[in-house]
A = this chain, B = another copy of it.
């Protein structure tokens, strides 16, 4: 009996119609059967949000040999949950998020809908990898990332990932990538986060803006350092967020 091809479930937060999604499908098609369930509109910055106060739906928008593409009215995490409930006929071998238009290193991991996709995957026990390019341009050039993405997905398909972990992979926006670095999450914080403007004369509205302030700039193990120096940053990420060191300290409090 012929061995089934790996099943690759894909989602993102920029929406099913985005250059990063098209690039990811193109890079991964040689590696297996692909099912895409992705938001029907941009959902950047929604993290692990789920739709609890409204119903969601989905439609098939493309069907080809080894490729099915669905758009969904929900969040990135909704997309993964709904794909399992509706369109998947077997467990996926890997869940892939991206390719995100924009940087998901450092604390952005918490705000990222692309990371939401793979955190949901890791919770479900499926090896999961998020890819992001540090370029918000809708017409960003994803081609330099292609060989790395194929290599990383092939390795994860072959070796798996430990329970409750996933990979956060970020690419600098450069033509010549210098190779891979295994990283830790850089320390940083967003500052100057809002721009405000008057509406109808007397009411103020606030648009999110902001600049990322990198704190541990000397840390050559951080994902921000890798990106600033032309490397692909792979940050292994846990969904067990217990701080075990603080557990011991807290036990002395009570």
Contacts and interface: CB of A to CB of B under 8 A. Distances in A.
Contact of A237 (B49, B162, B236, B241): B241
Contacts of A239: 107, 110, 241
Contacts of A199: 57
B57 A194 contact: no
A203 to B, nearest CB: 7
A123 B189 CA distance: 6
Interface stretch (A18-26, A91-99, A177-185): A177-185
Going nearest first, the 9 A-B pairs with the smallest beta carbon separation are A236-B246, A47-B48, A55-B205, A45-B52, A238-B243, A184-B242, A236-B243, A47-B47, A49-B49
Interface in A33-61: 42, 44-53, 55-57
B123 A50 contact: no
A226 interface: no
A159 to B, nearest CB: 7
A12 interface: no
Contacts of A45: 49-52
Contacts of A245: 162
B237 A206 contact: no
Contacts of A56: 205-206, 208
A11 interface: no
Contacts of A194: 81-82, 85-86
Interface of A: 42, 44-53, 55-57, 77-78, 81-82, 84-86, 107, 109-111, 116, 119, 123-125, 155, 159, 161-162, 164-165, 167, 179-180, 182-185, 187, 189-190, 193-194, 197, 199, 203-208, 234-247, 249-251, 253-254
A45 to B, nearest CB: 4
